[in-house]
A and B are shown apart, each in its own frame.
Chain A
Amino acid sequence: MPLIFGMSVLLGCQFVGELLARGLALPVPGPVIGMVILLLGLLVNGRVPDSLRQSGEGLLRYLTLLFVPAGVGIMVHVGLIRGDLWSLVVILFVSTGMTLGVTAKVMAWMNRGNVDTRERP
């Protein structure tokens, strides 16, 4: 039964998150609020129950797969951007590249006091 308990905790947090998001008309999606709720719960509990870790880490291991169905939806939006296609391509590459560079540099510079490269994939 550990998987069922773990999934129930995850879905329960999402459920409460959705309720809060809808009820208070917050601009944040329910699952993100659910994540905050679970984090608070874990901090209070002081450790991650094994069953929760099992189902949670199982889901995270396949996170890339979970984006595929929504990603295929790009095929529907192609028509909408035809007029601005090349401008958008430039924006996506230049702006994303600059965002990556600036963020990494700022964080690495601010964090230069406690560099930690021990953990390697």
Chain B
Amino acid sequence: MNVVRLDQLWVYLSGNPLLSLLATLIAFLVAVRINRGLGGTPLLHPVILSIALLIAFLLMTGIDYATYFEGAQFIHFLLGPATVALAIPLYDHRQRVARMILPILAACLTGIFTAVGTTLALGWVLGVEHEVLMSVAPRSVTSPIAMGIAEQLGGIPALAAGLVLLTGSVGCALGPFIFRILKVQDPTVKGFTMGLAAHGFGTAYSFSSLGAAAGAFAGLSMGLTGLLTAFLLPLITHLLGL
């Protein structure tokens, strides 16, 4: 009987989509377990935890991101139909959305101006390079939209995508804490705020921790914020002469 050497087996496995797919699912399961074990703390959200676990795994095994993504793209692909599926909770809660249309629009506009305004002002004060600043400006918007905006503004699309993800993680960590300080209790307000400030991460968080109504409002605000920012941000930077 011929036994294949272990290192050859590893070479085969590490290039196979099966390994990254399996690693992603296991990392997520472990992350959910750890998070539950810690009492569901938002500071170590399962997404952040699984991302950290997977990065550690890839660094230890020496698998590069492109190889990993070849397998993980099957999970990534489902983001498309999942985004479309946001229409279902939105439809279920259509009456509440219609009733709250004014607060929704007001919160959306002030939220976008706060996100963009504080980002540009802080970046200017701290002396962040122009290219990087233009990549961080659209950071509260879902990544495909943010990448398009960054490109239009003269930023780096890949960097914009990374900053969007970091914003999402920070938003999930800060959100529950800020809601407690400000005594915000309405789940629709919480969901809408999470979707605005932390795009898809905030939406996913709302669905898993705040309920279906919060999730619907998060999805709504994610879409609305994306649309409005795509039109407003180039205008704002133009007016500021950046």
Contact = CB atoms under 8 A, between A and B. Distances in A.
Contacts of B174: 93, 96-97, 100
B136 A91 contact: yes
Interface residues of B, number: 119
Most buried by A among B84, B145, B189: B84
B43 interface: no
B85 A10 contact: yes
A4 interface: no
Given A70-B143, A93-B174, A107 B69 contact: no
Contacts of B134: none
A96 B204 contact: no
Given A35-B85, A52-B88, A90-B126, 14 more contacts: A10-B84, A28-B227, A31-B144, A48-B91, A56-B85, A63-B200, A66-B75, A70-B165, A71-B165, A75-B58, A84-B126, A99-B114, A102-B111, A110-B106
A56 to B, nearest CB: 4
Contacts, number: 329
A1 interface: no
Contacts of B96: 116
Size class of A's contact patch? Answer: 35 or more
Question: What does DSSP make chain A's interface, helix, strand, loop or mixed?
Answer: helix
Given A57-B85, A121-B211, A116 B79 contact: no
Q: Which 5 A-B pairs have the closest CB atoms?
A: A77-B162, A69-B72, A110-B103, A56-B85, A107-B107
Contacts of B168: 67, 71
Interface string B199-226: 0110111011111011100010001001
A120 B187 contact: yes
A116 B188 contact: yes
Interface in A20-35: 27-32, 34-35
Nearest to A88: B136
B81 A11 contact: yes
A55 to B, nearest CB: 8
Contacts of B122: 87, 90-91, 94-95
A88 B207 contact: no
B161 A32 contact: no
Interface string B2-43: 000000000000000000000011011000000000000000
Most buried by B among A28, A39, A70, A121: A70
A49 B50 CA distance: 34
B44 interface: no
Contacts of A84: 126, 128-129, 132
A103 B118 contact: no
A19 to B, nearest CB: 13
A108 B185 CA distance: 9
Contact of B65 (A73, A93, A104, A110): A73
Nearest to B104: A107
A104 B24 contact: no
A92 to B, nearest CB: 5
A105 B183 CA distance: 9
A74 B73 CA distance: 15
Nearest to B92: A48
B100 A111 contact: yes
Contact of B100 (A30, A60, A114): A114
